[in-house]
Amino acid sequence: MSFRNRLRSGEKLIGTLVTLPSPEVVEILIDCDFDWLFLDLEHSAISTRDAQRLLQVASGKTPCLVRTESKDETAIRKALDIGAQGIIVPQVNSAEEAARVVTYAQYPPGGSRSVGLGRAQGYGLKFKNYIENANESLAIVVQIEHIDGVRNLQGILDVPGIDAVFIGPYDLSGSLGKLGQLHDPEVQQAIKTVFTEAKKCGMPVGAFAATTDAASDFIARGASLLAFATDALLLGTAAKKELGCLK
């Protein structure tokens, strides 16, 4: 079953953010049995070339979604052409923006994705099979991380081709003038709205959680696509804990 089908079925999928351009880190995370990996090109030093190397390491082992560095067409096209199983697109705040994301990500007739001969297409050797199946197999996830996205959520949810919405709680809190105040009532109400409206139409909801408590809370609310911590945060937390035991 493709990752997209697993996502759309509501299966609980727990992953972590990859922010370090290290194949060794990805190998370690694969052995930790995460359900998926979130390759972050928006907020890390990972380049498109780095991301392709990481996808090559994960190939056939752990599905990877790439968070594009922006919502523009080139960023989306490059993430898919290097072989991601799907994309997570930041700062999608309207139905019009969501529709453009789908258009950029899908080949004609469903969209306007241009044709390349990159890794995803087997460098041309698997071209026919890839283009025949890409629109049905690639996951398209849009981030709701601004209050404008929450206010326009119903229109976003109605856009054909969107497979899940993903809450970015920190940026969402910042858009309300309460950066990092995740437990503020206004921030919590915005998060609740996303879950409530998505549930009405059966849309899967994802979220980023920095801690296990936050992750458990999102799961209890109904999140099925969870990005827990980051590779660097997990490394630092574990190192501090073990060092504390020795000191």
pLDDT in tens, 5-57: 999 999 999 999 999 999 999 999 999 999 999 999 999 999 999 999 999 99
pLDDT at residue number 215: 97
Half-sphere exposure (Cβ direction) of 165: Cα atoms closer than 13 Å: 34
Catalytic site positions: 43
Tokens of 233: 């945060």
Helices (H), 86-230: 95-105, 127-137, 147-151, 153-157, 169-175, 185-200, 212-221
Could you list the mean pLDDT of each consecutive 10-residue stretch along the chain, which spans 247 residues? Answer: 96 98 98 98 98 98 98 98 98 98 97 96 97 97 98 98 98 98 98 98 98 96 98 96 93
CATH 3.40.50.11260 fits 3-246, yes or no: no
pLDDT at residue number 233: 97
How far is residue 148's CA from residue 200's CA, in Å, rounded to a whole number?
20
Using alpha carbons, select from 77, 60, 61, 57 the residue that is nearest to residue 69.
77
pLDDT at residue number 67: 98
**pLDDT, tens digit, for every residue of 126-141?**
999 999 999 999 999 9
How far is residue 119's CA from residue 125's CA, in Å, rounded to a whole number?
10
Q: Which residues, 6+ apart, have CB-to-CB distance to 28 below 8 Å? A: none
pLDDT at residue number 1: 84
